Amino acid sequence: MSAATVPPVKTLPDAQTVTAVRHWTDALFSFRVSRPQSLRFKSGQFVMIGLMGDNGKPLLRAYSIASPAWDEELEFYSIKVPDGPLTSKLQHIQPGDEIILRPKPVGTLVHDALLPGKRVWFLATGTGIAPFASLMREPETYEKFDEVVMMHTCRTVAELEYGRELVESLKDDPLIGEMVGDKLKYYPTATREPFHHTGRITENLRSGKVFEDLGLTPMSPGTDRAMVCGSLAFNKDVMEVLESFGLREGANSEPREYVVEKAFVGDGV
Ligand SMILES: Cc1cc2nc3c(=O)[nH]c(=O)nc-3n(C[C@H](O)[C@H](O)[C@H](O)COP(=O)(O)OP(=O)(O)OC[C@H]3O[C@@H](n4cnc5c(N)ncnc54)[C@H](O)[C@@H]3O)c2cc1C
Ligand SMILES: NC(=O)c1ccc[n+]([C@@H]2O[C@H](COP(=O)([O-])OP(=O)(O)OC[C@H]3O[C@@H](n4cnc5c(N)ncnc54)[C@H](OP(=O)(O)O)[C@@H]3O)[C@@H](O)[C@H]2O)c1
């Protein structure tokens, strides 16, 4: 083996190499890393990632994999928490740096946890869009459903940009562009700035505004399925709305009409 073909020495346990980093706002960034050859996951799942802490022990946090299962690399979409033990450091990573990635994917936002249906709703606030960034690029989403509605709500328009660009890129995606076709309906809203659509997801579902704006029939348990990812408060409130439409929470072991995952633990930064 020549020197050029010797693999780089991994200095961290479960080390993966950062290949790209992009900062979207002063509180949000996304990055891509190499993918362990052995890692198999379902689009929508999360893994533990992190850096070595100052005490010499791995400092790990749960992160949704934002890339689809077929991607050769892994993508993550992250908050920058001021003084956050992990993200105050993670936000400084550069291509060529290493992060720790434990290759044990888990999570409830997977197709297997939903009963078959005609239409699926992806409901997210803030960085809760990460699992749907994966699922929107997953062929199974379009094989299983005739319609896919992505509702994403943030305080500001700039915080919606990662999702907007991703949705925009799908129609030209050589692998799934054709499958996506007109099936994907994107409904971003900002709550604290003027935008073409405003208001919380819960309000827009309750009032029926989103159905009107997109020309859709209201949700019904016979046809509709949903996946939810946001703050605890959002998850709780949106679950109430889904239940009011007759949908019931499911799990991998008991598929039903909707599933929920926390986007983070706590009240927010
Ligand atoms: C199942 C699961 C999946 C997750 N996926 C992601 C993901 O894809 N992207 C991501 O950025 N984070 C995600 N998180 C949160 C992540 O695990 C960390 O909390 C986050 O990286 C901050 O780490 P920290 O050590 O800097 O601060 P921490 O000590 O972990 O958090 C400090 C505080 O910051 C707030 N906070 C943490 N994360 C967020 C967030 N994402 N949005 C708003 N406020 C937050 C909370 O109030 C928390 O108490 C996920 C959490 C869970 C449970
Ligand atoms: N994003 C920022 O610009 C900003 C700035 C300073 C501090 N922070 C702090 O950062 C933390 C996280 O901020 P974040 O913006 O990522 O998350 P967030 O506060 O959970 O808000 C994200 C989006 O979800 C909506 N939302 C919040 N609770 C909801 C509920 N129960 N039901 C339906 N919709 C709900 C918000 O609408 P509303 O706007 O109506 O609440 C907002 O559009 C917050 O605790 C905040 O204190 C954020």
Structural domain including 151 reads 111-262
pLDDT tens, position by position, 232-252: 999 999 999 999 999 999 999
What's the gap in Å between 107 CA and the centre of ligand 2? 23
Regions of the chain with pLDDT less than 70? 1-12, 268-269
Residues 74, 26 within the same domain = yes
Provide the whole-model pTM: 0.95
269: in domain:
no
CA gap 253, 172 in Å, rounded: 36
CA gap 269, 263 in Å, rounded: 13
Q: What is the pLDDT of residue 185?
A: 98
Q: What is the pLDDT of residue 4?
A: 55
Residues 161, 197 within the same domain = yes
Return the biggest CA–CA distance within the chain. Answer: 66
Residues 185, 246 within the same domain = yes
Q: What is the pLDDT of residue 23?
A: 98
Ligand nearest to the CA of 26: 2
Contact 107, 261 (CB under 8 A): yes
Residues 221, 155 within the same domain = yes
Q: Which amino acid is at 124?
A: A
Q: Give, for ligand 1, the residue of 45, 81, 101, 102 to mutate: max count of ligand atoms closer than 8 Å to Cβ.
A: 81
Residues 44, 78 within the same domain = yes
How many structural domains does the chain have?
Answer: 2
140: in domain:
yes
Domain final position from 52, 75, 106: 106
Q: What is the pLDDT of residue 7?
A: 60
Residues 40, 89 within the same domain = yes
Task: Specify the residue with its C-alpha closest to ligand 2, atom 48.
Answer: 269
Q: What is the pLDDT of residue 1?
A: 47
Residues 222, 257 within the same domain = yes
Residues 117, 212 within the same domain = yes
What's the gap in Å between 80 CA and the centre of ligand 1? 9
